[in-house]
Structure 1
Amino acid sequence: MAEPAPQRFTIAVIPDTQNYVDFTHQRAEGFAFDARDLMDQQLQFVADNSVSRGGDIVFATAVGDVWQHPIIDIDPDHAARGFRPRPAPAGAGVAAWADGVRNVEIPAATAAYDRIDGVLPFSVVSGNHDYDGQWWDEQWPQDLTAPPGDLRRLGMIHIGGLTAFTQAFGATSKYFKDRPWYVASHDDGADSAQVFEAGGYRFLHIGLQMAPSDASLKWAETVIHAHPGLPTLITTHDFIDKTGQRRAHPVVDLNALDPFDNSAQGVWDKLISRNPQIFMVLSGHHNGQAFRTDLNRQGGAVYQLLSDYQDRNQTALDTGLAPGRAPGIGDGWLRLMIFDMGGDVPTVRVRTYSTYYGVYASDQAEYARRYKPNEQPQMTDDGFVAADDFVIRLEDFRARFGPGAHEAGR
């Protein structure tokens, strides 16, 4: 990491970690190694390179899917509304998973986050895998006769209940209770807001639960109005896919299943496009990486980034597992958003770094060969590497948010 500088700082983006803590990916279940160790490495890297320890990471945000499996068939709220769960696929079931979630997955996740607790401000949002219940909606039943790889075989997955998530990462959890930078919450902390200072500016960050309801979006708008003029970032689990479209995953299109939920386009229309303080949106969920820029209703740029490396399986292949038997783990890759507010036009260099291999994507000779075929096969090798190492020019940032503390005193 670079030496700290007053106008230069880094935001760490922690992609989906579900495969690291998956209880079936640990030695106790006969796996080749403890995948949870890779998540520990990621969070330790963030801690070691935080401002409080001499680095330049000022904030960390996790895009959701912290753990892997559900703990109940269906949450009480959806059951009361008439939803009914269908059986889980191929003999698996919640009864077989719940102990693994409670005894392995959630403890592994919180043990990793203990490494940054009290070290720097951070946010964790829920992904679809973090909900108490996941079930297959009976209107779109599973088709187990479909060929492998055909997403139709999974039907449509619905989710509900965030009791376990808010116990671990809610407003009253040990991570956020009474922290001065944790400034607001909604729905027991399923939605939350944080502030941090860096580069001469005070920033607002809002974390939104998966497919947020109108109530969540209205709450977020009140938080923005309570912090006028602050450059604002949003993190939510599902926003853009790997083609850069605001389009739901075909298996987890929650807006198609429940009118209480908002699609990514709904979040854009109802919250992001109408609030000019929002300049960046970070998300995961879709395996791969993408970047797009759109103008809000006032003509300001909104930079949207997908960062999700959960299906990368080189660490499993390294143990000697055959390609068809080596599950996705994540290989330690995370995103580092390096802000430089010192030039005439502020910039963000987006880099992708593996805390397991200790290398940036652009410096790993095998990077495109290892990961492009599964993530972005249509790209050239150079284009694939460039998608994980590029610069965003914040052309209108100062016009929208002022000169910043450093420039104002000149």
Structure 2
Amino acid sequence: MSSTRRLFLLNAGLIPAAAAALPGVASAEPVAQGFTRPDTDSPRFTVAVIPDTQYLYDRDRGDSAPLEASLRYIVDTAREHNTVFAAHLGDMTENGLRGEFTAISRTFRILDRFPYSVLAGNHDIDASKDDQRGPSPYLDEFGPHRLRHSPAFRGATRDGYNSYHVFRAAGKEWLVLAMDWRPSAGSIAWAREVMRKHPRSPVILTTHEFVHADGGDGKAVLSDFGQKLWNDLVKDNDQIFLALNGHYWPPGRTVLRNTAGNEVHAHITNYQDRYYGGSAMIRLYHFDLARGVIDVETFSPWLQDQRSLSALAQQETTRSGPGDCFTLEIDFAERFAGFDPIPAPKPRPVREIVIPGTVAYWRFDNRDTRDLSGNGNHLVAQDTPQWSTEHHRGQPGHGSVYLKDAYFRTVTGAPMNKATFHRGYTVEAFFKLPKDFGDANAWCALLSRLGSGADAGKTGDDPKEALASLALSGGRQLQWAVFPLNQNAISTNWGHELPSGKWWHVAVVNDGRTTTLYVDGSKLLRNPSTPAVGFPAIGDVWLLGASNYERKVGKSFYGWLGDVRVVDRPLAQRDFMLR
């Protein structure tokens, strides 16, 4: 960890500038592996992190087997984890001897042609100097000439101690800065220039020293040098969202706030103080942009592969503390919006939405209550709705109506009032619930058909219920309930609990026999298999934004209602309004 002992030995002349390969440092020579190309469009990918391995390459006291196992694991599971990159955090060796670097260089042949980065820690070089220190065994083995084998390598500083790498994942380019133990002012300027030339790339900063968690509570803080690096490079460069370092122990993490007001996650990762010099622990950062998280796990592939372990070794196979195994919640689109904004979709013209079979199409971006399908199923406002520019990102129209006490009904004589939909139908709607939506708002409906089951001669279940209703429970579960033509009782589809404060798309699809409920284009579970064909038409109006019971209008919908479309046939998911 500390450079004190290292500097003493250097100044005393006890560490030679070069040494022959030392016995016992390396085991069998690894076999170079090929690179399994990742799925660069998947929203899920993994970055592997390798912290300090110095005790495994320490004169004649080391053992390369643990690191060999870790590197082989990274390569062998690359397809399984969609691993796109591997980063070593420095202190590759204990003494920076040529023999030690010869040994670890041999081990790293496993990663040749795999995208990876390395950097020098204080034990790898003359730690009393910055990156203008000149030649070293580290540079001889892991300088830019070696990194050119990596498909992600893009360039290095002239001194060779700092490099940058670009990989593609989740449909975009990501950048890794691998910075020296003590980068010079020129190298800091170089890093800024690299980011300037890649202005839309999120950046992971890797360096040997940045934060430490010496307090023992897992809460990391900037070291003195880390504060300088923060001031000189990180805080004013919004692209850097994740900073990883080794050097110190125990592990810890913190969240810093940069000049733009955005979060920078900073993690110290080092296990050299643990059993067997850390047993070549690796940390996997599993990015999931669909869920908005990074799931982090830490373990030793070498220990996990052994058939028989001592009680001490068994404790080290997997690290499960809060600083080792955790989840970061990141709204990636929001976090990266300052330098890589996702263009908002433009409103789509009505002609694209009025597809064959469209019975009614209502959108509220122009305070319009007309049926835009051209079929005359116009709406009449009841009370005073509030118009809004809020809308679902994938919604055709860029507007909505906020309903609390107001609602709409179709005009008398609208063709839709008489439709039975016996050959199938699709009902779609965009909506958002307020944060305080709860039991008091239970069974408010997005859409319902005025009239009860009793009006249509239905006697099963509760005949006072509406003929058809798309409503929400107090627990924010969608429910499509209908008296079908071929049943005497209610047929019900159920959704799951939906978080409030978020826009959703719902689709109810009936193929002329059974009905399926979809949320955001995903099929839900609780869909009845009993045939439910159409629903009775007694000539009464439809209510948009209100429920009804025993023919009496009940609660109006509480929240925002966006585009609504009704089609007289089942639509495939690809044909939904959602984009």
TM bucket, shorter chain: 0.5 to 0.7
Trace 1:175-324 onto structure 2 (pairs within 5 A): 175-176=147-148, 181-243=152-214, 244-248=220-224, 263-313=225-275, 315=276
Using the size of structure 2 for normalisation, the TM-score is: 0.47
Q: Would you tell me which structure has more strand in proportion to its own residues? A: 2
Larger Rg: 2
Instruction: Give 1:167's aligned residue.
Output: 140
Displacement, 1:247? 1.4
Instruction: Give 1:96's aligned residue.
Output: none
Aligned residue identity for 1:399 = A
Match of residue 122, structure 1, among 109, 116, 129:
116
Displacement, 1:20? 0.9
Report which stretch shifted further, 232-241 or 395-404: 395-404
CA distance in 2, matches of 1:180, 1:386: 34
Q: CA 1:23 to 1:349, structure 2 compared with 1: closer, same or farther past 3 Å?
A: same
Trace 1:34-45 onto structure 2 (pairs within 5 A): 35-45=63-73
Instruction: Give 2:565's aligned residue.
Output: none
State whether residues 171 and 188 of structure 1, in contact with CA within 8 Å, keep that contact through their aligned partners in structure 2.
no
Aligned residue identity for 1:128 = N
Displacement, 1:338? 0.4
Q: Residue 399 in 1 paired to residue 350 in 2?
A: no
Instruction: Give 1:102's aligned residue.
Output: 98
CA distance in 1, matches of 2:187, 2:197: 15
Q: Residue 7 in 1 paired to residue 3 in 2?
A: no
Q: Deviations over 1:273-317 (max 9, x none)?
A: 01111111010000221111111101111111110011212x4xx
State whether residues 47 and 284 of structure 2, in contact with CA within 8 Å, keep that contact through their aligned partners in structure 1.
yes
Displacement, 1:399? 3.0
Q: CA 1:7 to 1:224, structure 2 compared with 1: closer, same or farther past 3 Å?
A: same
Q: Deviations over 1:242-288 (max 9, x none)?
A: 2411115xxxxxxxxxxxxxx21111001100111111101000022
Displacement, 1:336? 0.6
Displacement, 1:398? 4.8
CA distance in 1, matches of 2:183, 2:241: 19
CA distance in 1, matches of 2:303, 2:314: 16
CA distance in 2, matches of 1:8, 1:234: 20
CA distance in 2, matches of 1:200, 1:269: 31
CA distance in 2, matches of 1:266, 1:225: 21
Q: CA 1:48 to 1:367, structure 2 compared with 1: closer, same or farther past 3 Å?
A: same
Displacement, 1:367? 8.9
CA distance in 1, matches of 2:133, 2:58: 20
Q: Would you tell me which structure has more helix in proportion to its own residues? A: 1
Displacement, 1:102? 2.3
Aligned residue identity for 2:90 = G
Aligned residue identity for 1:117 = D
Trace 1:318-337 onto structure 2 (pairs within 5 A): 329-337=277-285
Aligned residue identity for 1:125 = L
Give the match's secondary structure for 1:41.
Answer: helix
Give the match's secondary structure for 1:209.
Answer: coil
State whether residues 170 and 176 of structure 1, in contact with CA within 8 Å, keep that contact through their aligned partners in structure 2.
no
Q: Deviations over 1:356-395 (max 9, x none)?
A: 2228xxxx9x899957xxxxxxxxxx9x712211110113
Using the size of structure 1 for normalisation, the TM-score is: 0.65
Displacement, 1:163? 2.2
Trace 1:10-89 onto structure 2 (pairs within 5 A): 10-26=46-62, 35-51=63-79, 55-70=81-96
CA distance in 2, matches of 1:129, 1:293: 28
CA distance in 2, matches of 1:215, 1:188: 10
Q: Residue 355 in 1 paired to residue 391 in 2?
A: no
State whether residues 52 and 91 of structure 2, in contact with CA within 8 Å, keep that contact through their aligned partners in structure 1.
yes
CA distance in 2, matches of 1:46, 1:22: 23
- % identical aligned pairs: 29
Whose relative contact order is higher, 1 or 2, with alpha carbons under 8 Å and at least 6 apart?
A: 1
CA distance in 2, matches of 1:368, 1:391: 26
Instruction: Give 2:377's aligned residue.
Output: none
Aligned residue identity for 2:301 = T
State whether residues 211 and 264 of structure 1, in contact with CA within 8 Å, keep that contact through their aligned partners in structure 2.
no
State whether residues 59 and 121 of structure 1, in contact with CA within 8 Å, keep that contact through their aligned partners in structure 2.
yes
Give the match's secondary structure for 2:321.
Answer: helix
Alpha-carbon RMSD across the aligned residues, in angstroms, is 3.1
CA distance in 2, matches of 1:267, 1:13: 21
Q: CA 1:102 to 1:398, structure 2 compared with 1: closer, same or farther past 3 Å?
A: closer
CA distance in 2, matches of 1:12, 1:162: 28
CA distance in 1, matches of 2:207, 2:135: 15
Q: Deviations over 1:163-185 (max 9, x none)?
A: 22221111122x326x5532121
CA distance in 2, matches of 1:187, 1:61: 21
Instruction: Give 1:254's aligned residue.
Output: none
Q: How many residues align?
A: 294
Give the match's secondary structure for 1:129.
Answer: coil
Unpaired segments ≥5 residues, structure 2 = 1-37, 215-219, 344-392, 395-577
Instruction: Give 2:323's aligned residue.
Output: 387
Q: Deviations over 1:100-134 (max 9, x none)?
A: x323x11221112110111x211101100110x36
Aligned residue identity for 2:322 = A
Instruction: Give 2:421's aligned residue.
Output: none
Displacement, 1:45? 1.1
CA distance in 2, matches of 1:198, 1:271: 25
Give the match's secondary structure for 2:230.
Answer: helix
Instruction: Give 1:111's aligned residue.
Output: 106
